[in-house]
């Protein structure tokens, strides 16, 4: 089914300086509103080993371009040059945590955030391959054996971390291309402190009372129900997406779950959950899968396409604190220093300018 056409516009009140920051160089040579090419998004296991390695190289390229930047503190002190272009995305995610999670803007915010990251890989590090996603529904019965956790040092994303051995305690990932000794340069993260990538795969974290296994909401049947029983109801659909989102973050633990590094003082760790989860490259594949599911929902049926609301179609109690009757598709979403604000409405059609991408049919 084709996508409906929308007339989308960006408010003209943005300053010239802001526009220069927000619009990638390649946009400036395009006719307004026109996609010069469509970027293809494909499931990770359908990529060749060479394509996987090229994406990993681009990620590590961003992680090895260091620069100083301002802190999150009110005095805006300058952080040292150990921070990288890759760290900027975790930093922005932390700064905008109240927008990125637990609001009606969750899916549209991450659609633009993921687009910004993908664009950075291409414009700064020369990546020109497909944008990968991880369809974890295909692995739900045996997540630990998923090909996403391939230990290959050149084209694998690595598996669970080493939680016991010295000096690689703290569940440091010691397999795959993001291990400390892997090729293509070191992958060391600066947020919230300097550390290597960490994971601790588990179906039950022990963090929550009455906890359900992390694979309980990510199978094909759950997705089918979430898609087919929420026609026109963005609120209920996004609620189901949030459950899937949380379970994958908690499955992987470590950086993807916002679990603080061992060497960070406990008092500095308070309230950081979810803040720096883009530290783990799995973040981008996980959120691309969520975006794909939203994309599928938007055209099945067509009335879902621009459905957007902070309350269900038939709320049982309009005073429910989870509801926000004031959300609007004209709301301008913030992205720290990665982009000027953009309206939610610009996120509805990802096959239109400026997003210009589409998903391959799964093989």
- 211 and 243 in contact (C-beta within 8 Å)? no
Q: What are phi and psi of 330, to 5 degrees?
A: -90, -5
Give the pLDDT of the chain (363 residues) as one tens digit per residue. Answer: 344 333 233 322 222 333 334 445 544 444 467 999 999 999 999 999 999 999 999 999 999 998 877 666 556 666 666 789 999 999 899 888 877 888 999 999 999 999 999 999 999 999 999 999 999 999 999 999 999 999 999 999 999 999 988 656 799 999 999 999 898 888 999 888 889 999 999 998 777 788 788 888 999 999 999 999 999 999 999 999 999 999 999 999 999 998 888 888 877 777 666 688 999 999 999 999 999 999 999 998 889 999 999 999 999 888 888 899 999 999 999 998 899 999 999 999 999 999 999 999 876
Please give the pLDDT value at position 79: 66
User: What three-state secondary structure class fits 345?
Assistant: helix
Q: What is the enclosing helix (H) or strand (E) of 69?
A: strand 69-70
Residue-range domain boundaries for the chain: 31-359
CA atoms within a 13 Å half-sphere pointing along the CA-CB vector of 46 = 17
Q: How far apart are CA 190 and CA 63, in angstroms?
A: 10
Q: Which residues contact 180 (CB under 8 A, 6 or more apart)?
A: 168, 172, 174, 186, 187, 188, 196
Please give the pLDDT value at position 71: 61
pLDDT in tens, 88-132: 999 899 888 877 888 999 999 999 999 999 999 999 999 999 999
Please give the pLDDT value at position 72: 60
User: What three-state secondary structure class fits 39?
Assistant: strand
DSSP state of 1: -
- 148 and 157 in contact (C-beta within 8 Å)? yes
Q: How far apart are CA 252 and CA 194, in angstroms?
A: 20
In DSSP terms, 79 is beta-bridged to: 69
- 200 and 160 in contact (C-beta within 8 Å)? yes
Pick from 145, 146, 158, 177: nearest CA to 53: 177
Q: What is the enclosing helix (H) or strand (E) of 271?
A: none
pTM for the model stands at: 0.88
Token pair for 231: 């026609």
Instruction: Answer yes or no: CATH 2.20.28.120 is held by domain 31-359.
Output: no
- 176 and 151 in contact (C-beta within 8 Å)? yes
């Amino acid at each position: 089914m084709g996508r409906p056409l929308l007339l989308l516009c960006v408010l003209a009140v943005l300053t010239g300086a802001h526009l220069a920051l927000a619009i990638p160089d390649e946009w400036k040579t395009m006719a307004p509103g026109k996609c010069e090419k469509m970027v293809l998004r494909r499931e990770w296991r359908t990529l060749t080993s060479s394509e996987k390695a090229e994406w990993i190289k681009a990620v590590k390229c961003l992680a090895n371009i260091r620069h100083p930047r301002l802190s999150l503190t009110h005095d805006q002190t300058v952080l040292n040059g150990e921070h990288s272009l890759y760290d900027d995305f975790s930093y922005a995610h932390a700064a905008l945590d109240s927008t990125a999670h637990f609001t009606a803007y969750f899916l549209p915010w991450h659609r633009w955030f993921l687009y910004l990251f993908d664009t950075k890989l291409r414009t700064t590090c020369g990546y020109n391959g497909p944008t990968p996603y991880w369809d974890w529904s295909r692995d739900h019965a045996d997540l630990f054996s998923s090909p996403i956790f391939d230990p290959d040092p050149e084209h694998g994303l690595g598996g669970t971390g080493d939680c016991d051995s010295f000096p690689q305690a703290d569940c440091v990932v010691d397999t795959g291309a993001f291990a400390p000794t892997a090729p293509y340069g070191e992958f060391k993260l600066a947020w919230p402190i300097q550390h290597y990538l960490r994971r601790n795969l588990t179906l039950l974290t022990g963090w929550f009372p009455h906890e359900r296994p992390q694979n309980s909401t990510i199978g094909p049947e759950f997705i089918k129900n979430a898609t087919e029983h929420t026609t026109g109801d963005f609120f209920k659909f996004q609620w189901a997406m949030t459950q899937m989102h949380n379970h994958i973050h908690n499955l992987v633990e470590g950086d993807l779950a916002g679990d603080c590094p061992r060497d960070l003082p406990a008092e500095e760790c308070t309230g950081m959950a979810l803040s720096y989860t883009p530290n783990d490259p799995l973040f981008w594949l996980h959120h691309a899968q969520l975006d794909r599911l939203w994309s599928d929902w938007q055209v099945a049926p067509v009335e879902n396409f621009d459905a957007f609301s902070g309350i269900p179609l038939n709320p049982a109690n309009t005073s429910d604190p989870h509801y926000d009757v004031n959300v609007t598709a004209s709301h301008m979403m913030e992205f720290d220093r990665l982009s000027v604000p953009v309206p939610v409405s610009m996120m509805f059609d990802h096959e239109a300018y400026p997003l210009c991408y589409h998903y391959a049919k799964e093989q």
